[in-house]
Amino acid sequence: MRSDAMSIPFVSRTLRTVIALSLAIVPTTSLPTTSLRAQTPQILSTGSGPGARHPIVALDADAVFWVAMPNGQRELFVAATDGSPPSQLTTGADLRVGHGTFDQWSPIATSDDGDIVAYWNSLGVHVLDRQASTDVVVAPATLLAMPRLDAAGSRVVYQDLVAGELEVFLVDATGSNPPVQLTNNSGAGRRLPMIRGDLVLFQKLVGREMELFVHDLSTSTTSSALTSGSGGGNRHGRLTPNADAVVFEAVVGGEQTVMRLDLGSSTITTIGGAASGSRIAATDGDEQVVLQTGTPQPLVELHDPAITTLTSGSRGGHRLPQLDRHGQLVVWQEEHQGNLEVFAVRRAWPAVISQYGTAGTPSSGTLQPTTGTYRLQQSVGIDTQLPSGTPAVFAVGFTPQNVPISGAPGNFQLLTPIASVVVFLDGQGDTAGPVPLAATLLGFQYHAQFAVLDPTANPLGLVTSAGFTVAVP
Amino acid sequence: MSTPRLCLALLLGLAALPAQQPAPRVLQDQVPCRELAAGQALQLGGRACLSTTRFDLPYLVWDLTDHLPIRNDDDSAVAWLRAHARELGHGAFTPVPAGTRDWNGDTVRIFSLERDGVRLDDADIWVCFDADGCLGLVNRVPPGLDGAPAPGPEVAGVERCYKVQRARDGTNRVVVATVRRTRTPTHELVDFVVDGTAFGREHVQRVTVEPDSAATVTEYFFGGFPDQLQADARGVIWCSDPSGNRILEIDPQTGSAIPHSTLPWRQPDGLCVDPNGRVWTGLYTSGNGLGLFDRNTNTFTRFPVPPGGGSLAIPTWHHNGSIYVTQHSPARLHEFVVATSTWQPSVVLPGAWPVSATYDSTTGDMFVMQYQSNSIARIADGGGVSNLPTPQFSGPSFSAAANGKVWFSYWNSTQIGELDVATGTMSTFTPTISGAGGPIDVGPNGHVYLGTRNTGYIIEYDPVAGTTTNHLIPSGSRSLKDGLTVAPDGTVWFTSSGTGRVVRMTLP
């Protein structure tokens, strides 16, 4: 499943092969060298002091946040994975993180663009705006707030005590309105709320087991229990970025096992990771899941559903992995030089895709450019209203140009092709070509264009797309 | 008499006095701290004995100089106990043999009490023997047996027992309760009813429910007396060693340890690791105070005792930035403010002999196990202290909090107590392994892990299923006392204090 707004059919194996071959002819000496290599763990923090780092990553930005103790107080830090040094975002904040080794749930949260960060301390729940350079206390919860932001960073959910029970609250990120209590009489234990869209996920006891519930802000209704028989401990449930599913951990045979609950169909599938200790799974928008597992050496595993181990293991302790929207960046904590530090694997650098030139006019409808991202692959494509099976040519080249095509007024050849391949429009009149995101393509730039055979569009019977410039920074 | 003659006579007289022997080890092991095994003179039938007291009754009893005159058989023991029923506080109750147990090579004969055929639920008496004779006895009986009512006539088909009905105001009443038993596939639920109202329930697991489980065990020998332990965020295990005046930093992968000396400050006793990775320990030598090992600076810092403080025992972290530490006697909970390195006024606890405290992160409240008074003190985050009597008279000792429950152990039984934080109600779970309880912790899967003392098992209790699994401890590492923790990866670490070992148990 793709997460972009416009669905793009997956490109064929043949097409991928042709593109890969065409790219392979580029002399390797033309590729720039770089110190930032994908698939190799980077250490983003140093000398962070004792305690856990609780790293998190923004879904849509190269921004990794964590807590560290530079001077005896716990402060908030951020870094990108481009090699730039980390920045300290707070001074004297002394963030709270819960109950030491017993709290694996991240005490901090960020908006999807990484501009807004939430945390809590002895003053209450804070919302820090990196662009506006503001830090506002939006709620008075100081015990175990565990705040979470929505995608835009405009709303915060957190937990706070009411009559001896932790309840879920919602407050706007500006703090201009008082918090609204979303749950009542939730009973013992933690709620660990999370918000995506209008859905607020939380846990509460059913009998002796913590189960997951969803409160819909748009209807002000709370679901019945979404899970059952989940066993002891916490569920540590997390919504997917587009809130269509939840990953959580349940006790199966005495071992914490990661599950995925599809909110549409209510089906639950087992992801894996069954082992003692918490799994603290996180998921992206492309059905990839990271979790911690393993003993005696804790590991970070990526399940897609094949299992890839991202860490080589060090001493014990929680790894607390998280990943961005497409799983291209995975972060966790691991011991380094005596402290837990923030590790990151940049599995792919997202390409920057821009457009140039103009598209021609087909015989029916329009020819619109599309882009998409799925896991470690991006794509460029076209969206038409032409019949399924219509042939098209996908061409790539290194040199842009802008040459009017004779016999096809309003259409242009926008590159000098070095390779091309014939593709066919799918049932929606769409097609796409892949943009591989391999580490060897760092610093690489090329161009792509589609031409669709449309006999009635013009005398030549060809309609061209706008050009794409693909740059892997 | 001249002064030299007087001195000589005194010296000779002193030499003629028999040496006062400390409580035998098997008796010492039945109290959580050695101070509770310090004897006071007690005359039993004209025989000079020593005893400790509980509820103003003899608790541990041993002879001043010799073995007690009890042969190693049930009849002899029963006769001796009956002869001293008044001094022992048994009232009209008589001992009944209830089995034997081995305790580190010594033989323990166990007796229950009953009156007119009705058993007393809250008592057992251990008469302990080595190869040469009777070492002494453990007289675990509740107060008030003298005033217990007669059971009255037997009613056909009705099971009855004597039971202590406990009230929150601290009063105890020995009553004749009707016992109602309900069988489930896994448990027998035992309700104690008086005047038609159930005032206590025990969940007794049926023996055949879960087979023993063979966990993978790795033992590390460090010598000394490894006591309490806890993992830091890296999974590194920190362990106190009061006899070695050191804190051990144990690599969980290799088992190698780095010792950190606490000298000149002595006897690091209880230990906790705060979320900042700092290791706190109560320095048990009176007046030594609170210890902090900071691995950032690789230094050990000692903070003097608070005003009126004595021997500091077990520390606990609190989210307000304080470290709370228990003092057994007089019963206090001291609050150390880390930011200012100052002490707040100490909390005077409502019970007696607080062993350890547990922080409940969902309320911010502290729960203090009070061994001697069989109660739990609750220290509310916003202030206020309440006293919660435990349903069992077995000495609550250690505890752990998770998801609104405080799970606690009893020093003198393997029963597991559950305190519901919201309601204050307590339940009792009786596993298939009997004996003596000890350290306890909760794992991330919500399971409760109880270390038994000299019984040879780690008991894993699943609160959802309500059943326990017993994990066998290797014979060389059964000398548990105070230390058990669940590391972040779910492995269970415990100390076998008497054998100088730290043990890692990976559960199947």
Domain boundaries, chain A: 13-31+350-471, 42-346
Closest partner residue to A231 (CB to CB) among B276, B445, B507 is: B445
Surface of A (85-104) touching B: CB under 8 A:
96-104
Q: Do A143 and B319 touch (CB under 8 A)?
A: yes
- The label of the residue with tokens 């109950």 reads A99
Q: What is the reported pLDDT for B8?
A: 45
Rg (CA), chain B: 23
Whether A42-346 and A13-31+350-471 are alike in CATH topology: the answer is: no
Q: What is the reported pLDDT for A10?
A: 36
Looking at the complex, report in whole angstroms how far the Cα of residue B251 sits from the nearest Cα belonging to chain A.
Answer: 8
Token pair for residue B421?
């934080």
CA distance B439 to B426: 19
Going by their DSSP bridges, the two strands B197-205 and B426-430 should be labelled as: parallel
Q: Do B233 and A100 touch (CB under 8 A)?
A: yes
- The angle at the Cα of A419, spanning A416 to A420, to the nearest 5 degrees, equals 100
Q: Do B489 and A296 touch (CB under 8 A)?
A: yes
CATH number for region A13-31+350-471:
2.20.130
Which residues of A are less than 8 Å from B443 in CB distance?
Answer: 233, 276-277
Q: Do B463 and A208 touch (CB under 8 A)?
A: yes
Q: Is A50 on the interface with B (CB under 8 A)?
A: yes
Which residues of B are less than 8 Å from A317 in CB distance?
Answer: 231-236, 488-489
- The label of the residue with tokens 């913590």 reads A210
- The label of the residue with tokens 């210890």 reads B291
Is it true that the peptide bond before B268 is cis, omega within 30 degrees of 0? no
Q: Which residues, other chains included, contact A159 with Cβ-Cβ below 8 Å and sequence gap of 6+?
A: A141, A144, A145, A146, A166, A167, A168, A169, A190, A191, A192, A193, A202
- The angle at the Cα of A415, spanning A411 to A420, to the nearest 5 degrees, equals 95
Q: Is A123 on the interface with B (CB under 8 A)?
A: no
Closest partner residue to A315 (CB to CB) among B252, B364, B462 is: B252
Looking at the complex, report in whole angstroms how far the Cα of residue A5 sits from the nearest Cα belonging to chain B.
Answer: 38
Which residues of B are less than 8 Å from A251 in CB distance?
Answer: 445-446, 464
- The angle at the Cα of B160, spanning B158 to B163, to the nearest 5 degrees, equals 155
Mutate to test the interface with B, among A53, A120, A256, A276 (most CBs of B within 10 A): A276
Token pair for residue B25?
């080890």
**Residue A101 DSSP code:** G
Residue stretches of chain B with pLDDT short of 70: 1-20, 208-211
Instruction: Note whether B475 and B219 are within 8 A (CB).
Output: no
Q: Which CATH number fits domain B216-506: 3.90.550.10, 2.130.10.10, 3.40.190.10, 1.10.3720.10?
A: 2.130.10.10
Looking at the complex, report in whole angstroms how far the Cα of residue A98 sits from the nearest Cα belonging to chain B.
Answer: 7
CA distance A438 to B455: 59
Residue in chain B closest to A185 (alpha carbons) equals B422
Token pair for residue A169?
């609250």
Using the Cα atoms of residue A453, residue A457, residue A462 and residue A465 in order, give the sign of their dihedral: negative
Reduced to 3 states, what is the DSSP secondary structure of residue B16?
Answer: helix
**What would be the CATH architecture of the domain defined by A42-346?**
6 Propeller (2.120)
**How much is the ipTM here?**
0.83
Q: What are phi and psi of B497, to 5 degrees?
A: -60, -45
Q: Which residues, other chains included, contact A265 with Cβ-Cβ below 8 Å and sequence gap of 6+?
A: none
Mutate to test the interface with B, among A190, A295, A299, A320 (most CBs of B within 10 A): A295
Using the Cα atoms of residue B188, residue B194, residue B198 and residue B199 in order, give the sign of their dihedral: negative
Closest partner residue to B277 (CB to CB) among A50, A255, A315 is: A50
Which residues of A are less than 8 Å from B446 in CB distance?
Answer: 231-233, 251
- The label of the residue with tokens 């603290």 reads A280
Residue in chain B closest to A123 (alpha carbons) equals B320
Strands of A102-254, DSSP E: 109-110, 116-121, 124-129, 134-139, 148-149, 155-162, 165-172, 180-181, 194-196, 199-206, 209-216, 221-222, 238-239, 245-252
Surface of A (192-251) touching B: CB under 8 A:
205, 207-210, 231-234, 251
Looking at the complex, report in whole angstroms how far the Cα of residue A162 sits from the nearest Cα belonging to chain B.
Answer: 10
Buried b (16+ CB within 10 A) or exposed e, B266-295: bbbbbbbbbbbbbbbbbbbbeebbbbbbeb
Closest partner residue to B447 (CB to CB) among A103, A232, A278 is: A232
CA distance B142 to B389: 13
Q: Which residue, among B449, B468, B461, B430, has the nearest Cα to B188 in the 3D structure?
A: B430
Using the Cα atoms of residue B439, residue B442, residue B443 and residue B445 in order, give the sign of their dihedral: positive
Q: Which residue, among A111, A130, A107, A129, has the nearest Cα to A119 in the 3D structure?
A: A107
Closest partner residue to A51 (CB to CB) among B277, B362, B464 is: B277
Residue in chain B closest to A104 (alpha carbons) equals B488
User: What are B116-121's contacts with CB under 8 Å, separation 24+?
Assistant: B116/B150, B116/B151, B117/B151, B117/B154, B118/B151, B118/B160, B118/B161, B118/B162, B118/B176, B119/B161, B119/B162, B120/B93, B120/B145, B120/B161, B120/B162, B120/B163, B120/B174, B121/B161, B121/B162, B121/B163, B121/B164, B121/B177, B121/B192
Q: Do A99 and B275 touch (CB under 8 A)?
A: yes
Looking at the complex, report in whole angstroms how far the Cα of residue A340 sits from the nearest Cα belonging to chain B.
Answer: 7
CB atoms within 10 A of CB A313: 15
Looking at the complex, report in whole angstroms how far the Cα of residue B405 sits from the nearest Cα belonging to chain A.
Answer: 8
Work out how many CB contacts closer than 8 A connect A with B: 181
Torsion of CA B166, B171, B172, B178, to 10 degrees: -50
Q: Is A318 on the interface with B (CB under 8 A)?
A: yes
CA distances from A86 to A77, A78, A311, A330 (A): 7, 5, 22, 17
Tell how far CA B362 is from the center of its chain.
26
CA distances from B152 to A450, A471, B116, B160, B430 (A): 100, 94, 9, 11, 29
Looking at the complex, report in whole angstroms how far the Cα of residue B265 sits from the nearest Cα belonging to chain A.
Answer: 24
**Residue A11 DSSP code:** P
Q: Do B487 and A278 touch (CB under 8 A)?
A: no
Q: Is A357 on the interface with B (CB under 8 A)?
A: no
**Residue A193 DSSP code:** -
Token pair for residue B33?
């701290």
Q: Which residue, among B282, B222, B217, has the nearest Cα to B258 in the 3D structure?
A: B222
CA distance B467 to B100: 26
- The angle at the Cα of B499, spanning B498 to B503, to the nearest 5 degrees, equals 110
Q: Do A99 and B317 touch (CB under 8 A)?
A: yes
Q: What is the reported pLDDT for B180?
A: 96
Q: Is A340 on the interface with B (CB under 8 A)?
A: yes
Q: Do B381 and A143 touch (CB under 8 A)?
A: yes
Instruction: Note whether A436 and A19 are within 8 A (CB).
Output: yes
CA distance B443 to B458: 13
Tell how far CA A3 is from the center of its chain.
10
Instruction: Note whether A3 and A374 are within 8 A (CB).
Output: yes
| Tens digit of each residue's pLDDT (9 = 90 or more) over B231-243 | 998 889 999 999 9
CA distances from B115 to B79, B99, B120, B181 (A): 16, 19, 8, 21
CB atoms within 10 A of CB B66: 14
Q: Do A316 and B235 touch (CB under 8 A)?
A: yes
Rg (CA), chain A: 25
Q: What are phi and psi of B146, to 5 degrees?
A: -60, -35
**What count of residues does chain A have?**
473
Q: Do B234 and A276 touch (CB under 8 A)?
A: no
CA distance B365 to A161: 12
Mutate to test the interface with A, among B280, B361, B504 (most CBs of A within 10 A): B361
Q: Do B422 and A164 touch (CB under 8 A)?
A: yes
Q: Which residues, other chains included, contact B30 with Cβ-Cβ below 8 Å and sequence gap of 6+?
A: B60, B126, B138, B140, B411, B412, B436
Residue in chain A closest to B447 (alpha carbons) equals A232
Q: Do A316 and B487 touch (CB under 8 A)?
A: yes
Q: Residue B28: which region, alpha, beta or left (left: phi > 0; alpha: psi -120 to 50)? A: alpha
Closest partner residue to A315 (CB to CB) among B230, B253, B507 is: B253
Residue stretches of chain A with pLDDT short of 70: 1-38, 100-102, 295-296, 313-314, 439
CA distances from B327 to B310, B324, B341 (A): 7, 10, 18
3-state SS record for B457-480: EEEEEECCCCEEEEEECCHHHCCE
Q: Which residue, among A284, A295, A282, has the nearest Cα to A322 in the 3D structure?
A: A282
Helices (runs of H) and strands (runs of E) counted in chain A: 1, 39
Which residues of B are less than 8 Å from A210 in CB distance?
Answer: 403
Surface of A (278-317) touching B: CB under 8 A:
278, 294-298, 315-317
Looking at the complex, report in whole angstroms how far the Cα of residue B507 sits from the nearest Cα belonging to chain A.
Answer: 8
- The label of the residue with tokens 């509460």 reads A204
The domain segmentation of chain B, as residue ranges, is: 17-145, 155-205, 216-506
Instruction: Note whether A470 and A380 are within 8 A (CB).
Output: yes
